[in-house]
Structure 1
Amino acid sequence: MNAFDLHRTITQKYEDYLRSFIHISDDRILERVNKELDDGKLVPQPLVQLNPNFARNRSLDQLVEEEDLAPELTNIFRGYDLYTHQVGALQRGARGEGFVVTSGTGSGKSVTFLGTVFNYVLKHRQPGLKAILIYPMNALIASQAEEIGKYAKAYEEHTGQAFPIRYATYTGTTPQREREAILADPPDVLLTNYMMLELIMTRHGERSLRENLAEHLKYLVFDELHTYRGRQGADVSLLIRRIRAWVRRKRPLDEVLCLGTSATMSTEGTLTEQKGKVAEVAGTIFGQRVTPDQVIIETLEPSTAQGPLPTAEEIRRAVEAGIDPAAGEAVLKEHATARWLEQDVGMEKTEHGYQRGKPQPWSTLVQQLAAKVEVTEARAGQHLQDLLQWAESVNAQLREAKIRRGYLGVRLHQFISQTSNVYITLEPANQRQISLEKERLEQQEDEVPMYPVFFSRLSGYEFVGVHAYDDSEKDAEKQWRLEPREMDQLKAQKTGTWGDGYLLIHRDGEEDLWDEKRDLDILPSSWKTDPKTKAPSLVTHYKNRLPRQIYFDKQGRWSQEARYPHRGWFVPYKFPYDPTAKVVQGGRRNENTRLMRLGNAGRSTTTSLITLEVLRTLIHAEVPSQQQKLLSFTDNRQDASLQAGHFNDFLMILRLRSALFQALKKADRYTLTLKELAEAVCTILKLPEVTYAYRPTTEEALPNRYNVEALTDYIRYRLLYDVTSGWRINLPNLEQTGLMKLGYEGLQELSNREGLWAGLEGLAGVPASVRLQRLQVTLNFFRMHYALDYYQLEDKNYYYTLQEKLRQQLDPEKLWSLDHREKLRVPGYIVMEALKETKNPVQSAGKNSRLHRYWKRMWQQDAREGEAQTTQGKNRPKYEDFILELFNVLERLHLISKTTVKGKRENRIQEVAGYQLASSRLMWTLGDGTVSHDPLRVEALAEYTPRINPFFKALYQQDFAQYPPLWEGREHTGQVSGGEREVLEDRFRKGELAAMYCSPTMELGIDISSLDIVHLRNVPPNPANYA
């Protein structure tokens, strides 16, 4: 596996995703943003950490002879060669002293205390609890118990005798029967956490265990000592003191020894000062004196040949010669670049030996090598990659030969930011300062404030976040000032006031964004006064919600009069009209649907996308299937559960849409009807029954007909729902990416028949192409609101039959099924007036509906253009009469159906007509790469062409059938039962479970060191959170 290629592919895909949403119309801002992204603003260079080798000392067999340790240790740790820090700890343990070992991951810290404890147990064979091993997390308890189990199994296989050390775990998940056995006959060694140890010391039921440890306890061992801090550290410190006092009551002359292990706890100062600091912390926790000599710090040694470091000339010759990946370990050990990288960059030599070098950005390593040997950075980077890949190849051969030795082990740490902001000064486009950091620029003696910028999703124009103070502000210094405001600081104001909103800065040489006299004509008529009573003008409510011209300077001073050099428009928060795109915005819409920051990803979406790209990249890299997986940690169990569900939903949508696209490419005339749809998509998905069925067939050649039918029905349901509710900003659907078009069978032919539409204003007397478009929009209104006439979901008997069928055949624990509590969503109805307490959802097509606004715009457009046979003024029919007549025509043409809907209106039960789209007339057709804007969702008052997201367009064209059908993510938290967690862990170890989302404090029986990639959903506030 080439880690660098994997990393490059994953990060490039994420960058492509972020860039796909960027829509900025100002060239200078776009140029600056692209430069910052190229320089790693959101995806910085990875940190490269070289894993040093720990200094080897002697074999355990030798130490046993030298220190008079129990001979049986050689059978427990058979063939074990010890590192220097392990020897130092075991020597102190043999002398009856406590110690603290602080060293890096993979240094064998557990051997130091296990060897010490086992030595004592083997020399004191009488029954009793002699050592308690305390861990901060149940995950570590499970891992340690598994490791001791391996020692026990190897011992028994080698000697043919029972393992001489009795051990047990005692946590909140330990079954009651096992707890009772421990209380009745305590083991030699007990593994627990500090909360359970607290309960052991206080609960009446554990009194026998307390008495036993008072008589026999010798060691309290604390793993991951650095995690005990703050209140938790104080609790543990007091608990230790109570246990030691409890033991002294029975054995006043026999001291309980405290042992500790930790990651590096101090890196400042000299080695002696570091040891002194660790000793001080450990002594505070243990409540007993710990000297610096009792602190044992890791000893490192180079894996490559030692001696004088290679010269620049020697390294240059190595670079010019290139890397021979077939060369063996001996050549690697002497290689000039390898020696320089490990001993000069990856390690730091001091008077006390070698110390770890600090992780560095990859670009820094490349620059160092390029400067040293005077080659280009491209060549230096390629040489380093080739070298590290060669080292990994040698390490793989050593692992296969079961040799505990390695060279230039490397870890890549990649930090990813989700979003950022652009900041500008309040100046014209060709003069303003642009930054992606919040700051103040010094210009001469004045401080110039920087303002956050958000961009219109429709036009890409910059909206500057401000709070406009006028003379009503009590603080005189703030009066007539524009103060910067982030999007999450903005709040709606009372109509007619200034306050929170946005500043649109006029661009020199361009038409004004807003001119009330010019733009009044195109605005909705409901925003204007009645022309029959007075000259047309804006009603007060909308006048104060629309742009207002102001003048300002770069210091943020402003006025409605031309006192300052720059001109623009103030737009209030929750603006109803975007003048940069000439689009009416619904007042209730979330501000994030109108404007965007730099980057568009939330944490869940980012994690799901990264998970997907990791899995895809591992497959394309031909990594063994057992390693094609990702373990992800998140802050808490709620987020872990949410993330697992998000990933599964994300993956299912991608698979469905990709399969639909592939099916359309293969379909006759590139078109599918509802009758053909589900079967065609299932053929592309190729899902084996084991991925969805309760009782999958054991013979793939003989599928279970009932399972296949249930899956087909479920796929049909999901596809129907997807075309009604798939319009997500961060997950555009096939229509939005130009890959598919939704049409209605026979509608074009019907549109060509002029006589069918006589008397219907806006349909009669217009070109057939215009009529077709307007009818499609009307039917889309039904589709958008899931008002579908589909017998399996509409008829009560069919609905329950279908739902029961899906529950009987499809396993809710699997991806392709209803969840345990999920119900099929019942289609709704379109009615003329809203009802309450209806059996099915209803959506009004009345005066406040999008459909009403659409048709009013069409009538106004026809009146202006003089195209249609419009009836002006008082002879124009009421909208309600028109739409009911249109619905009647559509019903006669079998495009929609009509039924009676019962519900409450004005506290009375009423029956009204309800309408649904005939789902049998839906046609899914392969797209031509173009997208027309939806006039129901985007009320554009001028020409508007939606942008196509290139990332999702390319993603949907991928054939997901090439990936394992069993891909899914699951949560691993306290919400999941112990038995189920064990099943998940087993599936994950085997590579059957693609992603597991864990809370960091949960018991986790997974050896993290065996994984190629680990993900953190949030960067923890300190390392102890994820120790």
Structure 2
Amino acid sequence: MLNPITYTEHVVADFLRYQMTTYALADRALRAQLRTLLNLDQTRDTPLLKGPYFSLSKTFRRGTSLQDLGREGILHPHVANIAGHAHAYGHQESAFRAIAAGKTTVVSTGTGSGKTEAFLYPVISQCLRLRDHNAAAGICAVIVYPMNALAEDQLGRLRDLLAGTGVTFGMYVGKTPRERREVSGERLRQGASRAEYRQKVAALQARNDARAVHPPEERASREEMRTPGQQPRILLTNVKQLELLLTRQQDAELFDGALLDFLIFDEAHTFSGAIGAETACLIRRLRSYCGKGERDTVSVATSATIADRTGGNAGRDFAVRFFGVPPDQVELVREDYEPDHWQARRVANGLLAGDPIEHRQAVFQALERADHDGASDEERTRLVQALEAATGIRCRPDAWQLDLHAAMSASETAWQLSDTLDKPRPLGELLVELQRRLGRPIGEEEVLIWLALGAAARREQRPLLRPVVHAFVRGIDGAVVTFPAGRAPRLWLSAAQAEADRDPHFRLPILSCTTCGQHYFEHHVAGFDFTGNQPGGGEARGGHTVWPPLPPGENASRLLLLDRLAIDELDDDDDGTATSAPRRTAPIGFCKHCGALQNQTAQACLGCGRPGSVVGLLAVRQNSNRPGKLSSCIGCGALGGERMGRWRDPARPLRATAVADVHVLAQNMLHYAERRRLLVFADNRQDAAFQAGWMRDHARHYRLRSIIHEQLMVRTHTVGDLVAALDDLLDRDDELSRTLAPEVWSVHRKEELGRAHQGERRKFLRVQVLREITTGARQTIGLEPWGRMRVDYAGLEGAGNFHATWAPRLGCTSADLSLWVACLLDTERRKRIVWDAELKLFSRTWSEADALVSSGFTAGLDLHVRGLKVQRDPGDRKDWVAQWQSSRGMTLARQLLAKLAGSAQVDEGAFFRDLW
């Protein structure tokens, strides 16, 4: 059973870890600050989390069994066979009886209370009775949803419930195919059973095939639904489509012979105001068209919020106006609860001595492993040990849930917690109220432990506590830095956070390179120009130059600053000292109070006059053709460029993208959920379509990585062999090919005798494999950073002349020398200094006009071309040619060689020439 406390902890913690890893800051100090701000184990007051808010959901009263309701005639007897549970809740039974009596019914119960079953089982029962009497085809029930997503979710439920029953159904929305031949997915044969349907669904899911399975009862196209004698018994639709159905003649035929026994509106609270008035008119039009009066059709409205919880008549009044029925014909169904089981004599208790965080972690980990039917004796034993260590409660391993229920029902702490949560409360408010009631300090870790244990403590499968947790999370909303002390920047997750903390210092947005993690500070000032050797422009004051700050806009000059080069090790282009200013930068003074820049740092700020307020930073030189833009990263040389007519820096702000955050949250929620189904709501169709497309596109990249990993688990591959294996897999499965490589299908359709499609597919796959094996050393996403792939180099093993000559001189074994060479090659490979004879992917510059870029196989912006030599020639540029040996300073290769050689004297020039 899903424990909401541990579930929420996991989802929120994973989301914050995602924020940590997404913005790869190479600077250790900034990275440590970001970790501190986001780490749940250290603080829950991160500005990215609002809440959590806690409340308790009461246990619904158990109603009559479905079999007994079938014998009584309230439901059809077969409903008990297809339902997934034996008993109804008390409020569901009330709805069944009200609907059976012909009453207009308003079901106003909470989320997850089974509102759908409250109207669906009576509808299915009537359809089964019509089937038993061989009644003529005709719509029996119209179920209207405010959003297509809800209708599609219901459609999936109907497929599973009605497969093999002979009860027909269909969904008529904008995306419903017009003709039968346009229906995608798998159709089952006539007479197929429910078991056959489930078997087919399981088979497709095992292959990660997302296609739908259509049982013979489903009318999946408009053509089928309009065919005389084929109209569905149950019609799912939305308000706009329902109005079109009654307006267009070809669609109006769908209601010929309609019985319209039921008219149901789900989430009825959305039908308010003008929309509600228009829908009320539509209801009357539909009844009139079908020849039904207000008492001939049973109307049902469901909502979690439409009724007054204090016992008022808001729900009844709504139904009277909405459906046009007399008040005495309306039945209002509310939640009906079981009484709680608390012992009359309770004892006060609390957590035992020890670290509360360690207690919580131990209890949560033990609950995850032991709170399920397949738990081992060892896992249950560890759980009871963790419970006793944290709370002093002793339980039997084979009956720990029952023993825990008995102990907690006699706990004053647990009872006060339950009584306090009679309404939703934030964690801080909950702690204050509990301390007042218990007369002792109580921490958040203890509260979380009691709530988690209350959800796990069960008697007759009923938990003692049913906690509901709401946590509102968001991504980093534009991180900024200030300089409160010296040159050390202080990181804030947003400018609002700095303002709320009353930090008086000037705030600079922070950016990081997407390849190496080098950070930059964005600033806007008046008249700044740095396209030559030194910054120019500005205002002259007392023999110095000052650039006053301006808000971003047309009159402001954008520039990027940094305090230091974040890469710790010496680069292979270093000219001798690790403390020299990086190339393409110049020292500049920044006032940490007013934000003015000046060309000296020794005196007081020339902008505001504050003494000691100027911090020494480095300004990044700009390209004269693109002032204000970052042409390439100072740290790694990653290039910026134009895409779709817009310039894109190689560094991006530390600012979350909503679509990515939703994607990660959805993945985490599904990962920890027992039932892996999730609805994601958006403000409008455009947002929903963009979210779905973005998630689909990013998911396919992870799916391709998964397939590459599966291939590597079988055997070691060369690049060419791996591409061939992937190509063969996609050639056999067109659906998988369309999912993973839609760019190829948009360039060339697959033809039986044609070779163009296969050639383009191989190019696409080769690009993806090459990019995967050249993941940057500081990038966190990829098979190699995850430890799922290792790259070996042919010819390094064995005792060749190089090994035989140099291993003794270096005082190491041949194996150690091979490993050293592999590490050196790894550093060059992960800089994308790779020769690919087939595509020359990393050996030339790419533009949007090139076929690989225009077809979407790769984005040419991030492919920085660079070669490698033992030592550069005088005319070689550092940006284009890397080197192992330098006459002027220590390169990374020389540094690695020095570590390998230790005290041994080595002729570096001869070593690198022999290695080359």
Give the TM interval when normalised to the shorter protein: 0.5 to 0.7
Residues 378, 256 of structure 1: alpha-carbon distance in 2 compared, 3 angstrom cutoff:
closer
Residues 62, 557 of structure 1: alpha-carbon distance in 2 compared, 3 angstrom cutoff:
same
Say whether 1:482 aligns with 2:525.
no
Count of residue pairs the alignment pairs up: 695
User: Which structure 2 residues correspond to residues 304-703 of structure 1 after superposition, within 5 A?
Assistant: 304-306=340-342, 310-312=346-348, 319-327=391-399, 331=403, 334-337=406-409, 345=417, 357-358=423-424, 372=438, 381-382=448-449, 385-386=452-453, 388-391=455-458, 408-409=465-466, 417-425=474-482, 427-429=484-486, 435-439=492-496, 450-455=507-512, 463-470=520-527, 481-483=548-550, 499-504=557-562, 547=586, 549-552=588-591, 554-558=593-597, 563=606, 564=609, 565-567=613-615, 568-571=617-620, 573-576=628-631, 586=639, 588=641, 594-595=650-651, 597-598=653-654, 607=663, 611=667, 633=680, 636-637=688-689, 639-653=691-705, 656=708
* Equivalent in the alignment of 1:201: 246
Whole-angstrom distance in 1 between the partners of 2:676 and 2:299:
39
* Equivalent in the alignment of 1:101: 107
Q: Deviations over 1:980-1013 (max 9, x none)?
A: xxxxxxxxxxxxxxxxxxxxxxxxxxxxxxxxxx
Residues 287, 23 of structure 1: alpha-carbon distance in 2 compared, 3 angstrom cutoff:
same
1:134 to 132, 144, 150: 144
Whole-angstrom distance in 2 between the partners of 1:451 and 1:322:
55
1:263 to 301, 304, 307: 304
Whole-angstrom distance in 1 between the partners of 2:850 and 2:30:
54
2:781 to 731, 738, 750: 731
CA contact (8 A) 1:226 1:265 kept: yes
Please state whether the residue corresponding to 2:398 is helix, strand or coil.
coil
- TM-superposed CA distance for 1:197, in Å, is 2.8
Residues 112, 741 of structure 1: alpha-carbon distance in 2 compared, 3 angstrom cutoff:
closer
One-letter amino acid of the structure 1 residue matched with residue 43 of structure 2: D
Greater Cα shift, 192-201 or 653-662 = 653-662
- TM-superposed CA distance for 1:220, in Å, is 1.7
Please state whether the residue corresponding to 1:300 is helix, strand or coil.
coil
CA contact (8 A) 1:723 1:783 kept: no
Say whether 1:179 aligns with 2:224.
yes
Say whether 1:53 aligns with 2:59.
yes
Q: Deviations over 1:627-653 (max 9, x none)?
A: 796767586356435534533432443
Whole-angstrom distance in 2 between the partners of 1:199 and 1:691:
42
- TM-superposed CA distance for 1:204, in Å, is 2.0
Q: Deviations over 1:705-760 (max 9, x none)?
A: xxxxxx9xx999967863466336453564999964658879999999xxxxxxxx
Residues 662, 102 of structure 1: alpha-carbon distance in 2 compared, 3 angstrom cutoff:
same
* Equivalent in the alignment of 2:335: 298
CA contact (8 A) 2:588 2:597 kept: no
Whole-angstrom distance in 1 between the partners of 2:324 and 2:263:
12
CA contact (8 A) 1:421 1:437 kept: yes
Please state whether the residue corresponding to 2:263 is helix, strand or coil.
strand
Whole-angstrom distance in 2 between the partners of 1:74 and 1:84:
19
Please state whether the residue corresponding to 2:25 is helix, strand or coil.
coil
2:283 to 240, 243, 264: 240
One-letter amino acid of the structure 1 residue matched with residue 629 of structure 2: K
Report percent identity of matched pairs.
16
* Equivalent in the alignment of 2:311: 272
One-letter amino acid of the structure 2 residue matched with residue 858 of structure 1: R
Q: Deviations over 1:674-714 (max 9, x none)?
A: 79x769x99xx9x9x9999569xxxxxxxxxxxxxxx9xx9
Please state whether the residue corresponding to 2:524 is helix, strand or coil.
strand
Q: Deviations over 1:470-527 (max 9, x none)?
A: 5999xxxxx9642566xxx9xxx8xxx96122344699xxxxxxxxxx9999998xxx
- TM-superposed CA distance for 1:234, in Å, is 5.7
2:837 to 785, 788, 792: 788
- TM-superposed CA distance for 1:144, in Å, is 5.3
User: Which structure 2 residues correspond to residues 986-1025 of structure 1 after superposition, within 5 A?
Assistant: none
One-letter amino acid of the structure 2 residue matched with residue 240 of structure 1: I
Residues 246, 453 of structure 1: alpha-carbon distance in 2 compared, 3 angstrom cutoff:
same
Q: Deviations over 1:184-227 (max 9, x none)?
A: 376765554444433431232355554534xx545422123234
**Which consecutive unaligned segments of at least 5 residues does structure 2 have?**
178-218, 353-386, 529-536, 539-545, 566-576, 623-627, 683-687, 735-757, 804-817, 855-862, 894-916
Whole-angstrom distance in 1 between the partners of 2:852 and 2:499:
65
- TM-superposed CA distance for 1:239, in Å, is 1.8
One-letter amino acid of the structure 1 residue matched with residue 510 of structure 2: V
Whole-angstrom distance in 2 between the partners of 1:13 and 1:111:
34
Whole-angstrom distance in 1 between the partners of 2:841 and 2:501:
65
* Equivalent in the alignment of 2:573: none
* Equivalent in the alignment of 2:43: 39
**Which consecutive unaligned segments of at least 5 residues does structure 1 have?**
154-162, 350-354, 399-404, 474-478, 508-517, 525-544, 619-626, 665-671, 696-710, 753-768, 790-825, 842-848, 861-877, 881-932, 947-1027
- TM-superposed CA distance for 1:340, in Å, is 6.9
- TM-superposed CA distance for 1:103, in Å, is 0.9
CA contact (8 A) 2:401 2:456 kept: no
Please state whether the residue corresponding to 1:271 is helix, strand or coil.
coil
Please state whether the residue corresponding to 2:170 is helix, strand or coil.
strand
- TM-superposed CA distance for 1:101, in Å, is 0.8
What TM-score, normalized to structure 1?
A: 0.51
Greater Cα shift, 407-416 or 778-787 = 778-787
Q: Deviations over 1:567-614 (max 9, x none)?
A: 4455464235767x5x66645389987546558898559847985997
CA contact (8 A) 1:419 1:597 kept: no
Please state whether the residue corresponding to 1:439 is helix, strand or coil.
helix
Residues 8, 197 of structure 1: alpha-carbon distance in 2 compared, 3 angstrom cutoff:
closer
User: Which structure 2 residues correspond to residues 799-838 of structure 1 after superposition, within 5 A?
Assistant: none
What TM-score, normalized to structure 2?
A: 0.57
CA contact (8 A) 2:266 2:303 kept: yes
Residues 194, 481 of structure 1: alpha-carbon distance in 2 compared, 3 angstrom cutoff:
same
CA contact (8 A) 2:139 2:233 kept: yes
Whole-angstrom distance in 1 between the partners of 2:527 and 2:715:
60
Please state whether the residue corresponding to 1:239 is helix, strand or coil.
helix
* Equivalent in the alignment of 2:872: 858
Say whether 1:222 aligns with 2:265.
yes
Whole-angstrom distance in 2 between the partners of 1:327 and 1:64:
36
CA contact (8 A) 1:608 1:646 kept: no
Residues 143, 459 of structure 1: alpha-carbon distance in 2 compared, 3 angstrom cutoff:
closer
Please state whether the residue corresponding to 2:399 is helix, strand or coil.
coil
CA contact (8 A) 2:511 2:652 kept: yes
Say whether 1:23 aligns with 2:68.
no
Residues 245, 179 of structure 1: alpha-carbon distance in 2 compared, 3 angstrom cutoff:
same
